[in-house]
Structure 1
Amino acid sequence: MADIVFIEGLVVETVVGVYDWERQVTQNLVIDLEMAWDNSVPGRTDEVADALDYAAVSARVETCLQALRPQLLEHGAEELARVLQDEFGIAWLRLAMRKPGAVPAATAVGVRIERGVR
């Protein structure tokens, strides 16, 4: 399937990090998602029920990461990918998770994973 639904630059404020001070504050994570979805059905029907609800996906990303409070971005990305695939029936996704300001000389650091079959 070549169709993609994407969400770029979704900012989630949560506890993230391994240092003691990081466990006491919230920081921003920036999430980019590409998700395989058959867009031909909603393209024909013009019915929101046939589409991947990116507002619902965005809300679930936020609640997942706020509840998870990951130490590592790798853990956050893996758990988030699992939740989205399980709850929304997404066969394949590419997920980038960035932590702005983690390395002062860099705009952001992060991880990018792909899970599932495209």
Structure 2
Amino acid sequence: MADVVLVEGLAVETVIGVYDWEREITQRLLVDLEMAWDNRVPAASDDVADALDYAAVSERVSQCIQALQPQLIETAAEAVATMLQQDFGVSWLRITVNKPGAVPAATSVGVRIERGQR
């Protein structure tokens, strides 16, 4: 399947980091998602019930990361990938988690993972 549903630049405010001072503040993560989804069915029915609900996905991604309060962005990415595959039935996904400002000389640092079969 070549169809993909996108969520780009999802801002999530959460506690993240390994340093003591990071555990006392919230920082912004930016999350990009690419999720395999057969869009032929919702396209034919024109019914949102047949589509991958990107609003619900976005809310759950935010909740997942905020509840987790991970030390590493790698942990956040893995938790989100697992949740999306289990709870939304996404067979394949690519997730990018960026932490802007983590390295002063860089615009952002981050990780990108792919899970599942396309």
Aligned ranges 1:54-73 → 2 under 5 Å: 54-73=54-73
Instruction: Report the counterpart of residue 100 of structure 2 in structure 1.
Output: 100
Instruction: Report the counterpart of residue 111 of structure 2 in structure 1.
Output: 111
2:51 aligned with 1:51:
yes
2:114 aligned with 1:87:
no
Q: Give 1:88 shift.
A: 0.2
Structure 2: segments with no counterpart, 5+ residues: none
Deviation per residue, 1:18-48 (Å, 9 max, x gap): 0000000000000000000000000000000
2:9 aligned with 1:15:
no
RMSD: 0.3
Q: Aligned partners of 2:54, 2:106: CA distance in 1, in Å?
A: 29
Q: Give 1:85 shift.
A: 0.8
**3-state SS in 1 of match to 2:105:** coil
Q: Which runs of 4+ in 1 moved over 2 A?
A: none
Aligned residues: 118
The normalised TM-score by structure 1 is: 0.99
Q: Aligned partners of 2:81, 2:68: CA distance in 1, in Å?
A: 13
Q: Give 1:100 shift.
A: 0.2
Percent identical residues = 69
Q: Aligned partners of 1:7, 1:63: CA distance in 2, in Å?
A: 15
Q: Give 1:51 shift.
A: 0.1
Q: Aligned partners of 1:86, 1:29: CA distance in 2, in Å?
A: 23
Q: Aligned partners of 2:49, 2:114: CA distance in 1, in Å?
A: 26
Q: Aligned partners of 2:59, 2:78: CA distance in 1, in Å?
A: 17
